[in-house]
Amino acid sequence: MTPAPRLLVTADRLLIGPDEAVDGGGILLSGGRVLWAGPLGRLPDDAAPAALERHNGACIVPGLIDAHVHLAFRFGADLTLRLSEHDVAVLAAPARDVCGRLVAAGVTTVRDLGSPGRLVHEIRDAVERGNLMGPRIVSSGPPLTSPAGHLAAFGVEIEDDRDAAAAVRQIAALGADVVKVIATGGALTPGTALGRAQLSTSAISAAVAAAARLGLLVAVHAHGTEGIARAVEAGAHSIEHCSWMNAGGEVAAPEAALVQQMAERHQVAVIAGPLPEDLVARPRHDPSMAGRRLLAIWDNAKSLAERGVVLALGSDAIFGQFDDAHDLAWRAQCMVELGGFEPVQVLRAIWAGGAAALGLVGEIGRLAAGARADIAVLEGDPRHDISALHRLRAVYVAGTRLA
């Protein structure tokens, strides 16, 4: 992707981040980076832009970060089927297509946490070369899981420490940016238990140690408290889903000691999972069973944030549920309108939390000098109207306007 020349983008309001707004602001871009952001009256004298783009009546915000997606699969796909090389090749075209729709939805960075072989790595590389319009992609490739465990159909099955270390080296050789470990069962894999751990603390620790030697972070899928406890003890960088389910699969209250450890160790809780379609339309007092469970998980997430745990937001999208790929925006809106979150809490999870989950603090999620020039221009301020995340006027990825 060839970055645009020095460009000044202005709007009625600029959000540096969720907690810092500038009225009558602008942002100066060059070489794919932010050179300056602030009130237009304070634009440095030597910062004359080569071009100017005005967005009257709009709000400039950092590009959205979806910390947990699955680009390779379509909504309703059977993730238990073993995939041939031909099957994987067929998945490539729709996965590439959704990249363009994500940019149009204001999503400028995603972390893909589970895909077969090098499929998403190759899409990531095509975006980086400028051969495909899409968000920046951080990709895990195949996840590490137990024999017949969640996502075993395209994952690397492990049982002990030696297996775990070897599997990390294997997926790193494929080109992984991050290691995904499956610590509990998953909803889309029948026969696995969401509330029970499927890997030992020792095996997860071995994966974390092997990844650290290669400079990679580890994201651990853990719905159940048993799996969360093992991931925390093993030193996982992020805990995916973090649902606090008991052995029977019911959502329970977070364990205070584990929450304290997560806060002290700066382990990120990525609140991700499919969004029940009926939850978008139903009021809080009459949700479906799936909706009630999700609302309970969100209540737990609020309590984690209150106790100092960094939250990130992921749609967990297997794309196709929403035709416009606004999965993250719908999730944010439901968390505010039905889940009792304040808009700024959700925006903080998308931007600051997303950057923390991906290990890219200072690089993305904030419009400050030196950051990557990923920008969305909205018709409205999402701190006051979270539905503004749906109303995109323009999107810039690495300083180039793509939508």
Q: What is the pTM for the complete model shown?
A: 0.96
Same domain, 169 and 305: yes
Round to whole Å and give the CA distance between 83 and 290.
29
Q: What pLDDT shows up at residue 4?
A: 52
Round to whole Å and give the CA distance between 85 and 67.
28
Q: For residue 126, give both structure tokens.
A: 């095509």
Q: For residue 249, what is the DSSP state?
A: S
| Contact assessment for residue 270 and residue 240, using Cβ atoms and an 8 Å cutoff | yes
Residue 377 lies in a domain: yes
Same domain, 71 and 161: yes
Q: What pLDDT shows up at residue 288?
A: 77
Taking the alpha carbons at both ends of the chain, their separation in whole angstroms is 14
Residue 157 lies in a domain: yes
| Contact assessment for residue 385 and residue 393, using Cβ atoms and an 8 Å cutoff | no
Residue 1 lies in a domain: no
Residue 42 lies in a domain: yes
| Contact assessment for residue 285 and residue 309, using Cβ atoms and an 8 Å cutoff | no
Q: What pLDDT shows up at residue 292?
A: 86
Residue 15 lies in a domain: yes
In this structure, what CATH number is given to the domain that contains residue 385?
A: 2.30.40.10
Round to whole Å and give the CA distance between 350 and 268.
12
Provide DSSP, 115-150.
Answer: -STTHHHHHHHHHHHTSS---EEEE--SPEE-TT-T
Same domain, 15 and 126: no
Same domain, 349 and 387: no
Residue-level pLDDT, tens digit, the chain, 403 residues:
454 578 999 999 999 999 999 999 999 999 999 999 999 989 888 877 779 999 999 999 999 999 999 999 998 888 999 989 999 999 999 999 999 999 999 999 999 999 999 999 999 999 999 999 999 999 999 999 999 999 999 999 999 999 999 999 999 999 999 999 999 999 889 889 999 999 999 999 999 999 999 999 999 999 999 999 999 999 999 999 999 999 999 999 999 999 999 999 999 999 998 888 777 765 555 677 788 899 999 999 999 999 999 999 999 999 888 888 999 999 999 999 999 999 999 999 999 999 999 999 999 999 999 999 999 999 999 999 999 999 999 999 999 999 9
Q: For residue 364, give both structure tokens.
A: 């993305």
Provide the residue range defining the domain that includes 121: 64-357
| Contact assessment for residue 267 and residue 309, using Cβ atoms and an 8 Å cutoff | yes
Same domain, 38 and 116: no
Nearby residues of 45 by Cβ (< 8 Å), 6 or more positions away? none
CA dihedral 289, 290, 292, 296 (to 10 degrees): 140
Same domain, 154 and 31: no
Same domain, 280 and 174: yes
Each residue's pLDDT tens digit, 209-244: 999 999 999 999 999 999 999 999 999 999 999 999
Provide DSSP, 152-185.
Answer: TTTSEE--SHHHHHHHHHHHHHHT-SEEEEE-B-
Residue 2 lies in a domain: no
| Contact assessment for residue 381 and residue 366, using Cβ atoms and an 8 Å cutoff | no
When divided into structural domains, the chain yields a total of 2
